[in-house]
Each structure stands twice: as C-alpha cells, then as structure tokens.
Structure 1
Amino acid sequence: MTIDLHLHSTASDGTTPPDELMRQAGAAGMAVVALTDHDTTAGWAAAAAALPPGLTLIRGAELSCRWHGAGESIPLHLLAYLFDPADEQLTAALARVRESRLGRAERMVALMRADGIDIDWDDILAHADGGTVGRPHLAAALIRAGLVADTQEAFGPRWIGNGSPYRLPKEDLDVFEALRLVQGAGGVTVFAHPRARVRGRVVPEEVFGQLAAAGLDGLEADHHDHSPAERDEVRRVAAALGLFVTGSSDFHGTHKKVRIGEYTTAPGALARIVAGATGATPVTGVVG
C-alpha cells in the first residue's frame, strides 16, 4: 500500500487542480493520498468526486501556526486530517488566516512595485483562480515576468525568501490553539517537516514534549527538506514521546521538484490517523 499524506492543489498554492491531482495520484500507483491545502478545505469536494477506482482520499489541511517562546516566535505547520469541515471555531480561524495571507501578499506586491519590480496584483489573483494566495503565487508571477528562473530562486533573500525586504509577516494560529481547534473538530494532527532547518529556525526540542502533552499525534519524518540526520532525529523524538511518524512528498506540482509518492507513510501510521479521527472519514473511489 503506497501512501502519501501531504499533497497541495490549486485550492492553495499547488499548480494542479484537485480533480486532476487525484487522477495523477492514481496514475502514479498511489493507494492513499491526503489533500492538505494551506488553511482551506476548498478542494475536498472536487478531489473526492474525481477519485479513480481504488484510490482513497484522506481529507485534510496544512495549518499555518506559530510557536511563541521566551523572546522568540517561530512559524511551523500542522497537518490536520479528517476533521469536520463544518466546525464553526476551526472554520472561522482558518478564514482569518486566509484573509491575512491575502493582505500580506498584496502588501508584498506593493513593496516590490514601489521598487520597480513589474508584477501585477490582479494578474496574481487571476492565476490563483480562487485558491489561497501565498508566496508561491508571487514566485510564479516573478517567473512569468522573467525576473527569476524558478521558485527556488524566487524564495531567495533577493526576492521573497528569508531576509528579503519584501517578505512580510502574516497572522498565524498559535500552535497550541490550533491543536485545540483540530481536536474539537474531531481531527488528527501531525507536525509537518519539524526539523527542516533549510527552511529557517526550528522549535527547540523540548517543544515536542509540550505539543505531545497538548494532543499532537504524529511527526512528519521523511520529507525532501529533511536531511538523513534530521529524519533520524524526528524518529528518535517520536519514539520517545509515543508519536507515530509519516513520510510525504509535500507535492505542489511544478512549484517544487518532487513527485507524488516520493516519500511515503507506513500503513500502521495511517491506521492510527483513521482510528483517531471522528470528524470525517476516508473516501475511496468506486471500483467497477
């Protein structure tokens, strides 16, 4: 059973529509995939309706969170699986984050335009096609304008990456509040790429224990932004805390040079997600 629990579509910052993403996953030989767009469930219905025979969909989202420590604040992402999409508290919180993302992106474009960088906000919105607007949409605009060669270059300090004068903060959910909200909506949580130092600062190790005590269920170990040593580190921490581990591609289409199923999750971890969730259930494409 080939399982990839971290895929993105055009409902957020991927380049593949949810229905086509499911067809590609089936063609890639996947048995189970999770749709985890950023802070939204907008792609769930289209993905479920397009499932090829035998492919199972785990409906989820990747939540933009932040840990507030003594004198520091570090962003992180939580993968939330099989929660109730109609839960009022979680729905309202995700809407606030999406609105913050939108305003932040528009302000970043304004800063770049003030410096003579010729990208257009209306064009970015048109290409987002209703999806949750984020920095990958700005990166795509920079590529279309011929200013950068690819997303990796766009995410450098010259443009919209760490250290860039154009990168602005956005509103994130406090990670402990996010855990509470997902639990209240019947979902299961996994800390996404928790040791990906290539992305920037990571939380201190003692935070893992605090998150586990607050109800965190698992850690994403196998990810293209983790080095082999970081993957081993995640497994060690998970074993010490009794958390399960997952592996995922974090597929974004052409935004990233990874393929569906590049990293996968063991069936036992999937079983714990399904058993622990009360907000939604997996959906499987009908055979025959």
Structure 2
Amino acid sequence: MRIDLHTHSTASDGTDTPAELVRNAAAAGLDVVALTDHDTSRGHAEAIAAVPEGLTLVTGAELSCRFDGVSLHMLAYLFDAEEPELLRERELVRDDRVPRAKGMIAKLQDLGVPVTWEQVARIAGDGSVGRPHIASALVELGVVSSVSDAFTPEWIADGGRAYVEKHELDPFDAIRLIKAAGGVAVFAHPLAVKRGEVVPETAIAKLAAAGLDGIEVDHMDHDQATRARLRGLAADLGLLTTGSSDYHGSRKTCVLGEFTTDPEIFGEITRRATGAFPVPGTGGRL
C-alpha cells in the first residue's frame, strides 16, 4: 500500500489542479494521497469529486506557523474544514499573503529585479499566492535557474534580502485548533535545514507535550542521517512518523510517491481523526 501524505495543488502553490492531482496520484500507483494546500481547504471539493476508483483521498492543509522567530509548517489531517475558529485563522494567514507578496516584490524591485505584481498574480492564478510563485517569476526572468535557487539569503529565504514576514500561527495554537476541529497534527519537514533556520529538538518535545501527533521524517529535504535522528526522537517522544513527497507539480523536482507513509501509521492517523473521514474513489476515471 503506497501512501503519500503531503501534496499541493493550484489551490495554493502547486501546478496541478486538485482534480489533476488525484488523477496523477492514481496514475503514479498511489493508494492514498493527502491534499495539503497551504492554509486553505479550497481544493477539497474539486479533489473529492474527481477521486478515481482505487485511490483514497485524505483532506488536509499545511498551516503556516512561527515559533520563537523561526518559520515552520504544521500538517493538519482530516479536520472539520468548517470549524469556525480554525477557519478564521486560516483566512487570516491566507489574506495576509497578498500584501506580503507585494512587499517582497517591492524589495526585489529595489534590488534591481524587474518583477511585477501582475507577473506573480498570473503565475499564482486562483491559488493562494506564496513565495514559490515569486520564485517562479524569478526563474521566468532568468534571475535564478530554479525555484529552489530563489530560496537563499540572497533572495527570498527566511531573513533574505527580499523576505517579508506574514501572519503566522503560534504552533501551540495550531495544534489546539487542529485538535478542536477533530484533526491530526504532524510537524512538516522539521529539520529541513536547507530551507533555513529550524526549531531545536527541545521545541519539538514541547509540541509533543502539547498534543502534536507526529513528525514528517521521510522527506526530500532530510538526508539519511537526519531521518535516523528524527526516528529516534519520535520514538523517545511517542510521536508518529510519516513520509511524503511534498509534491508541487512541475514547480519542484519531487514526484508523487517519492516518499511514503507506513500503512499502520496511516491507520493510526485515521483512528485519531474525528473531523472528517478519508474519501474513497467513487467513480472518477484516469
């Protein structure tokens, strides 16, 4: 059984529509895929309507958080998307994305980069605008050769020359809100040092004590030694361990199913969730 619990669609910063994503997941031989767009559940309905037979969809989101000045992401699975408090916080984060993007564009222009809001908005389409859209604009302009090359201190990495902060949740509040909405909370790529500063392991222990369910271990931004370290930490803290692709379509080099989650871990996630249920395919076609 192949299970990928971290993907993105055009509802945020992926390049596949939600319908394309579930069809591509089935074509890639996945049995289960989670749609976890940034701070939004807007792609859920389209994905649910298109789930092919043989594939199960897990609805979710990736919430933007900040702990002691360090940005981090919290994966929320199978929560009630209409629960008012969590919905309100997601909308606050999402709505702050536009002024933040415009602020980053202004900084880039001051650095001599001819990027415009119109260009970034075109790339984002109907999705929640984010740094990957700005990075794609820099690729279009020939400023950098790839999206990942834009996420450096020279450009738009945390604390970089063109970086602008946005509204982000406190991760302890995020865990509380996810739980109150019947969901399951998993810390995404917690030691992805190539993305910038990461929180210390002591912070992960505090999050575990506050109700964190798991940590994402098998991820393209974790090397073998980091994965082993995280597995040991998870064992010590009683946390679930997941694996996933963090698929963004053509915007990143990762592919669907590049890393997967153990079926027993997935079973435990579904047992803990009370806000929503996995959606089996009911007639979509490849």
Q: Check whether TM > 0.5.
A: yes
Q: Does 1:262 align with 2:258?
A: yes
Matching of residues 52-71 of structure 1 within 5 Å = 52-68=52-68
Q: 2 CA distance for matches of 1:112 and 1:187?
A: 38
By how many angstroms is 1:162 displaced? Answer: 4.2
Could you tell me whether the CA contact under 8 Å between 1:245 and 1:269 is conserved in 2?
yes
Matching of residues 62-81 of structure 1 within 5 Å = 62-68=62-68, 73-81=69-77
Q: 2 CA distance for matches of 1:250 and 1:116?
A: 32
> Structure 2: 5+ residue runs without aligned partners?
none
Q: Does 1:164 align with 2:160?
A: yes
Which residue of structure 2 lines up, in the alignment, with residue 36 of structure 1? 36
Q: 2 CA distance for matches of 1:77 and 1:154?
A: 19
By how many angstroms is 1:140 displaced? Answer: 1.1
Per-residue Cα deviation, 1:153-178 (whole angstroms, up to 9, x for no partner) = 22223322245311111111000001
RMSD: 1.3
| 4+ long deviations beyond 3 Å | none
Which residue of structure 2 lines up, in the alignment, with residue 25 of structure 1? 25
* Partner SS, residue 250 of structure 2: helix
Q: Percent of pairs identical after alignment?
A: 52
Q: 2 CA distance for matches of 1:204 and 1:111?
A: 30
Matching of residues 86-125 of structure 1 within 5 Å = 86-125=82-121
Could you tell me whether the CA contact under 8 Å between 2:79 and 2:178 is conserved in 1?
yes
Matched letter for residue 87 of structure 1: E
Which residue of structure 2 lines up, in the alignment, with residue 232 of structure 1? 228
Match of 2:207 among 211, 225, 234: 211
Q: Cα gap change, 1:240/1:91 in structure 2, threshold over 3 Å: closer, same or farther?
A: same
Matched letter for residue 148 of structure 1: V
**More divergent stretch after superposition (109-118 vs 266-275):** 109-118
TM-score with structure 2 length normalisation?
0.96
Per-residue Cα deviation, 1:43-79 (whole angstroms, up to 9, x for no partner) = 10111111111100000000101113xxxx2111110
Matched letter for residue 24 of structure 2: Q
Q: 1 CA distance for matches of 2:53 and 2:158?
A: 42
Q: 1 CA distance for matches of 2:188 and 2:257?
A: 16
* Partner SS, residue 127 of structure 1: helix
* Partner SS, residue 255 of structure 1: coil
Could you tell me whether the CA contact under 8 Å between 1:54 and 1:287 is conserved in 2?
no
Query: How many positions carry a matched residue from both structures?
Result: 284
> Structure 1: 5+ residue runs without aligned partners?
none
Q: Does 1:272 align with 2:259?
A: no
Q: 1 CA distance for matches of 2:137 and 2:190?
A: 29
Match of 1:245 among 241, 246, 251: 241
Q: Does 1:134 align with 2:130?
A: yes
